[in-house]
Amino acid sequence: MRGRLPALLSELAERLPAERLAAWAAALRTAEHPRDVVLDRLVEAAPAAGLAVELRRLRRAWQEEAPELPGAALALALDTVARTEMLNAGRSDLVVSGPTSPAIPVRLTRGIAIDVIRSARQTLLIASFAAYGITDLVRELGQAVQRGVLIDVLLDGSTAAARPFAPLKDQIRVWHPAEGSSIGRLHAKIIAADRHTALLGSANLTNRALDENVEVSVMLRDPHLVGRLVDHFRWLVNGSTGLLSPG
Contacting residues for 47 by C-beta, under 8 A, at least 6 apart:
none
- Does 51 score more than 90 pLDDT? no
Q: Do both 72 and 191 map to the same domain?
A: no
Could you give the number of structural domains in the chain? 2
* Higher-confidence position of 51 and 157: 157
Q: Is 153 helix (H, G, I), strand (E, B) or coil?
A: strand
Q: Do both 51 and 105 map to the same domain?
A: no
Residue 226's domain comprises 92-246
Last residue of a domain, one of 43, 71, 87: 87
Last residue of a domain, one of 87, 109, 131: 87
Q: What are phi and psi for residue 23, nearest 5 degrees?
A: -65, -40
What gap in Å lies between CA 162 and CA 166, rounded to an integer?
7
R_g of the chain computed on alpha carbons: 21
Segment 126-178, tens digit of pLDDT: 999 999 999 999 999 999 999 999 999 999 987 788 999 999 988 999 999 88
CATH label of the domain that carries residue 237: 3.30.870.10
Mean pLDDT of 97-102: 78
DSSP state of 125: E
Q: Which amino acid is at 229?
A: L
Q: Do both 36 and 106 map to the same domain?
A: no
Last residue of a domain, one of 72, 87, 102: 87
What gap in Å lies between CA 192 and CA 194, rounded to an integer?
6
Q: Do both 11 and 108 map to the same domain?
A: no
Cα angle 82-222-87, degrees, rounded to a multiple of 5: 40
Q: Do both 73 and 33 map to the same domain?
A: yes
- At 175 the pLDDT is 92
DSSP state of 186: -
148: region left, alpha or beta (phi > 0 left; psi from -120 to 50 alpha): left
Q: Do both 142 and 27 map to the same domain?
A: no
Q: What is the pTM of this model?
A: 0.64
Contacting residues for 96 by C-beta, under 8 A, at least 6 apart:
106, 107, 108, 109, 214, 215, 216, 217
- At 54 the pLDDT is 81
What gap in Å lies between CA 155 and CA 173, rounded to an integer?
11
Segment 70-91, tens digit of pLDDT: 999 999 988 887 776 655 555 7
Asked if 144 contacts 120 with a C-beta cutoff of 8 angstroms, the reply is yes
- At 205 the pLDDT is 95
Question: What band does 193 get if pLDDT is binned at 50, 70 and 90?
Answer: very high
Q: Do both 83 and 99 map to the same domain?
A: no
